[in-house]
Structure 1
């Protein structure tokens, strides 16, 4: 996917997140993040948007911590979120393709990284905001899949497996070596082999040898399941491997 596509998805998903949050109300519980209410979701995502904007807009080439979350609520919080989201989109849209700044996963360029990362960050949290409005997760997931499409969801799976969990801080580890296969049936070539051990997971594209467990289904459902928002659509083989992922794969 191209950087411009990610920016457009980020723009749409941020608007949808704010609309869903407004309809749910900031007091509403977020069932996909049980420790949060909608106000926590808006504060967190709004701070992340501003954090990302600063790297691109100000050209910071070293890590800088996120700011504290604001003590805003209600209409003020929604306005604050929308303002930060708008500035992030505008910053990415207007940035030079060769802008230099800090980023934390491999990417063709810093701009490509931040556009992709913020599109996925915002999409997953938009699902959280929709869940806070009520309705079954299955219904919400169907709408989510229809809007985002399988290619974007498959890209998000790839970012998670080969990006986030390749880092030393990944907690998805196993004392006994195990192999998890991830297969998105609605996207050509969307198959991953994930080797779990006491080291960070090693994920490769394709069927690389036998697997102890396979999780499969539509790309969007797998995307949300791997981010622990939904159950896995289908599990074959040793289900304890899928459960190990669910218990240990939270991303900091």
Structure 2
């Protein structure tokens, strides 16, 4: 996917999250984020989007930027967040993907990093807002196939290694993820005390300790520990035990 694609998806997910949050209301519980209400969810995405806006104006080697203070009242918070999110989309769209910016990545410090990261951050929290609004009746296909497949890849190659550096797994195992509609598959090898190995499948999927299969949309939800129609065979505890942000 190209930089412009991520920005387009980011805009789409912002609008969908806003619609679901407004319809659910501030006090609705978010079942996929235990202990949160919709107001907590919007406060969180407002914090993230304002933080990233500030990161775009921060040189790559400077200190970590800080998010803005958020309004306390729901009637102020919701439009405040939407304004910041749209400002962020416009800023990302207004330059090239290789424009330097501060990021938490040690290797990729560009606007392109943030376009991808915020497309997925917002998509997953849009899903949370849909569950707050619809409960278990959220449609099984919400996300574009390419976006969802890229989201699986981003989780396995960026977000999971970051979490494992803080919360290493204690078990060894091999997981295979197969998104048939996207024509993509990933192999994840977990070894205690070592970085996770992620790449193309090395040998038969039947040798895996666990296999997670389904649409890219279903796998996207599964890797982020959201309700999913993905089918997991083998040792499901390996999937459930992956650390999430």
Provide TM-score, normalisation by structure 1: 0.87
Alignment of 1:140-179 (within 5 A): 140-144=138-142, 148-167=143-162, 169-171=165-167, 173-174=169-170, 176-179=171-174
* Residue aligning to 1:226: 223
**Secondary structure in structure 2 of the residue aligned to 1:113:** helix
Quick check: 1:46 aligned with 2:46? yes
- Give the distance between the partners of 2:212 and 2:154, measured in 1 at CA: 17
Q: Structure 1 residue 141: deviation in Å? A: 4.0
Distance 1:93 1:231, change over 3 A: closer
Q: Where do 5+ consecutive residues of structure 1 fail to align?
A: none
* Residue aligning to 1:241: 238
Alignment of 1:97-116 (within 5 A): 97-105=97-105, 110-116=110-116
Q: Which segment drifts farther, 35-44 or 54-63?
A: 54-63
**Are 2:50 and 2:68, in contact at CA under 8 Å, matched by a contact in 1?**
no
Q: Which segment drifts farther, 103-112 or 176-185?
A: 103-112
**Secondary structure in structure 2 of the residue aligned to 1:183:** strand
**Are 2:140 and 2:229, in contact at CA under 8 Å, matched by a contact in 1?**
no
**Secondary structure in structure 2 of the residue aligned to 1:191:** strand
Q: Structure 1 residue 8: deviation in Å? A: 0.7
Question: For 1:135-155, what per-residue CA distance to the aligned partner results, in whole angstroms no more than 9, with x for missing partners?
Answer: 42xx424241xxx32111110
Distance 1:106 1:155, change over 3 A: farther
Quick check: 1:182 aligned with 2:180? no
Question: For 1:43-72, what per-residue CA distance to the aligned partner results, in whole angstroms no more than 9, with x for missing partners?
Answer: 110110011111213445334154365352
- How many residue pairs get matched? 241
Distance 1:182 1:98, change over 3 A: closer
Quick check: 1:195 aligned with 2:193? no
Question: For 1:151-182, what per-residue CA distance to the aligned partner results, in whole angstroms no more than 9, with x for missing partners?
Answer: 111101111101112235353513x4211111
Q: Where do 5+ consecutive residues of structure 2 fail to align?
A: none
**Are 1:179 and 1:194, in contact at CA under 8 Å, matched by a contact in 2?**
yes
**Are 1:32 and 1:131, in contact at CA under 8 Å, matched by a contact in 2?**
yes
* Residue aligning to 1:7: 7
Q: Structure 1 residue 98: deviation in Å? A: 3.8
**Are 2:30 and 2:131, in contact at CA under 8 Å, matched by a contact in 1?**
yes
Distance 1:159 1:36, change over 3 A: same
Question: For 1:205-231, what per-residue CA distance to the aligned partner results, in whole angstroms no more than 9, with x for missing partners?
Answer: 321233111111111111111101114
**Secondary structure in structure 2 of the residue aligned to 1:140:** coil
